[in-house]
């Protein structure tokens, strides 16, 4: 092997090692980002907003200081850009055929909750959105805001509630292009950036 060939071979080996290192670093970095669990909103009594299901456990909701807003405490969570929203039950408001609510991809949605089922009181709005993590910084992830939200059971910090037990229902969900009336449940799957 000539000196010229040896120089080329060493250069190729160094380049290959650099590429392999870059690939390994990328795989390692992406494997530390975890998928975010779905957000499930239920009515039929108090409003329940949970994150997580059996095969994708929920993360703790943490209250942002000074405001009625909670964020998902998930340090390794992938950054979120959208929600894929699915409805269980409900109908599109204003649709003469009373058509079902179809899945939609949105950046946020508002749950309008009737906390006492009395016609003389206003509905309460709860917004599921994308915002910063702890301390107002960090990876963008799910946030929930609205009056009276709380983690009712400290042993289950992935569940928020509002209202009183057995006294309310979801009146509607407003998304970008339509309003879904009286859904029984809403599933919002976070979509990463």
Helix and strand numbers (H, E) in the chain are: 1, 14
pLDDT score of 15 more than 70 = no
More confident position, 12 or 157: 157
Q: Are strands 80-88 and 159-162 parallel, antiparallel or unpaired?
A: unpaired
- Rounded Cα distance between 30 and 10, Å, is 30
Number of structural domains (the chain) is 2
Would the pLDDT of 34 be above 50? yes
pLDDT of residue 14: 55
Residue 191 DSSP SS3: strand
Asked whether residue 124 falls in the same domain as residue 165, the answer is yes
Query: Could you give the C-alpha distances from 119 to 11, 36, 181, in angstroms and in order?
Result: 78, 37, 16
> Which stretches does DSSP call E strand in the chain?
39-42, 47-51, 61-63, 69-72, 80-88, 91-92, 104-106, 109-114, 124-131, 141-145, 159-162, 169-174, 179-181, 185-192
67 and 119 fall within a common domain = yes
> Which pLDDT score, from 0 to 100, does residue 20 have?
44
Q: Do 147 and 179 belong to one domain?
A: yes
CA 64 to chain centre: 16
Structure-block tokens of residue 80: 């979120």
The pLDDT of residue 101 is 93
Q: Which residue has the higher pLDDT, 105 or 133?
A: 105
41 and 76 part of one domain: yes
Query: What pLDDT is stored for residue 23 in this prediction?
Result: 47
Residues in the chain: 193
21/93 same-domain check = no
Question: At residue 30, does pLDDT exceed 60?
Answer: no
Examine the domain organization and report whether 97 and 183 are in the same domain: yes
Instruction: Say yes or no to pLDDT of 116 above 90.
Output: no
Claim to verify: residue 8 and residue 27 sit in the same structural domain: yes
* C-alpha closest to that of 186 among 95, 112, 96: 112
Task: Report the pLDDT value the prediction gives residue 192, as an integer from 0 to 100.
Answer: 87
Average pLDDT for the chain: 82
Domain coverage including residue 9: 1-32
Question: Are residues 163 and 70 located together in one domain of the fold?
Answer: yes
If one compares 111 and 17, the residue with the highest pLDDT of the two is 111
8 A C-beta contact, residue 188 and residue 85: yes
pLDDT over 60 (residue 142): yes
CB 46 within 8 A of CB 64: no
C-alpha distance across the termini of the chain, in Å: 50
pLDDT confidence of residue 18: 45
Same domain for 139 and 182, yes or no, is yes
168-188, pLDDT tens digit by residue? 899 999 998 899 999 999 999
Residues 92, 143, single domain; the answer is yes
Same domain, 182 and 155: yes
Q: Band of the pLDDT at 22, cuts 50, 70, 90?
A: very low
Which of 71-75, 101-105, 109-113 is the least confident region? 71-75
Report the pLDDT averaged over residues 117-140.
85
Neighbour-count burial of 183, counting CB atoms closer than 10 A to its CB (0-12 exposed, 13-18 middle, 19+ buried): buried
In this structure, the answer to whether residues 178 and 138 fall within a common structural domain is yes
Chain segment 73-98, per-residue pLDDT in tens: 887 888 999 999 999 999 998 888 87
């Amino acid at each position: 092997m000539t000196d010229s060939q040896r120089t080329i071979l060493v250069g190729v080996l160094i380049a290959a090692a650099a590429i392999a290192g870059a690939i390994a670093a990328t795989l390692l970095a992406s494997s530390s980002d975890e998928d975010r669990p779905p957000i499930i909103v239920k009515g039929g009594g108090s409003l329940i907003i949970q994150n997580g299901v059996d095969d994708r456990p929920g993360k703790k909701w943490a209250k942002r200081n000074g405001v009625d807003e909670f964020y998902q405490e998930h340090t390794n969570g992938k950054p979120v850009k959208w929600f894929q929203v699915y409805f269980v039950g409900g109908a599109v408001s204003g649709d003469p055929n009373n058509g079902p609510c179809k899945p939609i991809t949105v950046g946020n949605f508002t749950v309008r909750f009737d906390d006492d089922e009395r016609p003389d009181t206003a509905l309460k709005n709860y917004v599921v959105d994308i915002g910063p993590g702890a301390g107002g910084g960090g990876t963008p992830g799910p946030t929930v805001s609205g009056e009276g939200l709380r983690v009712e059971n400290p042993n289950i910090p992935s569940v928020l509630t509002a209202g009183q037990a057995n006294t309310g229902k979801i009146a509607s969900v407003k998304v970008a292009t339509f309003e879904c009336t009286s859904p029984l449940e809403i599933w919002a799957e976070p979509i990463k950036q």
